């Protein structure tokens, strides 16, 4: 499994925000803490606010905050917003029409692993990982 770098950053940023649990975060603050470049982080935050995972407020005393409880934001939501989750759930050999009825030669072998993958992403919430005792941000 390899998420896009942008997905990695999105999860890192949002899990940091979940851990800190502030009312509002400025881009400046996040950039300092997370070591992401200014423009790159801002572009990403704008995307995340467009898909309503966070809210943004422009102007003086503006910033970013969660739009809902972190218990209701799953890793799959974040991946979906940034790069689309679908590609991780398709046929491992790239056949568009691969299914139980019309399987590719790896279908049977792959199905179970794919389910595990989906389960991991769609059942892990930001809140859950924010509770972990990790030194990394």
- Judged by DSSP in three states, 54 sits in strand
Burial group, residue 49, by CB count within 10 angstroms (0-12, 13-18, 19+): middle
Task: Count CB atoms within 10 A of the CB of residue 43.
Answer: 12
Per CB under 7 A, which region of 14-22, 43-51, 103-111, 124-132 contacts DNA?
43-51
75 binds DNA (CB under 7 A): no
What does 108 interact with, of DNA, a second copy, none (CB < 5 to 8 A by kind)?
A: a second copy
**How many Å apart are CA 32 and CA 37, to the nearest integer?**
9
CA angle 43, 22, 124 (to 5 degrees): 70
Interface stretch with DNA, choices 11-19, 44-52, 69-77, 127-135 (CB under 7 A): 44-52
**Which of a second copy, DNA, none sits in contact with 117, Cβ below 5 to 8 A by type?**
a second copy
Residue 58 in the binding site for DNA (CB under 7 A): yes
Contact set with DNA (CB under 7 A): 4-6, 9, 26-28, 37, 39-40, 42-43, 45-46, 49-50, 56-64, 83
């Amino acid at each position: 499994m390899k998420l896009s770098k942008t997905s990695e950053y999105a999860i890192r940023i949002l899990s940091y925000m979940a851990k800190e649990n502030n009312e509002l975060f400025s881009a400046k603050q996040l950039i300092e803490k997370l070591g992401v470049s200014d423009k790159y982080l801002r572009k990403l935050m704008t995307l995340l606010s467009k898909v309503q995972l966070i809210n943004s407020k422009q102007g003086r005393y503006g910033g970013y905050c969660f739009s809902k409880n972190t218990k209701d934001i799953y890793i799959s939501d974040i991946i979906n917003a940034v790069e689309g989750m679908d590609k991780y759930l398709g046929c491992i050999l790239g056949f568009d029409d691969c299914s139980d009825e019309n399987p590719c030669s790896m279908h049977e072998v792959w199905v179970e692993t794919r389910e595990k993958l989906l389960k991991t992403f769609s059942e892990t919430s930001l809140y859950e990982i924010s509770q972990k005792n990790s030194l990394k941000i």
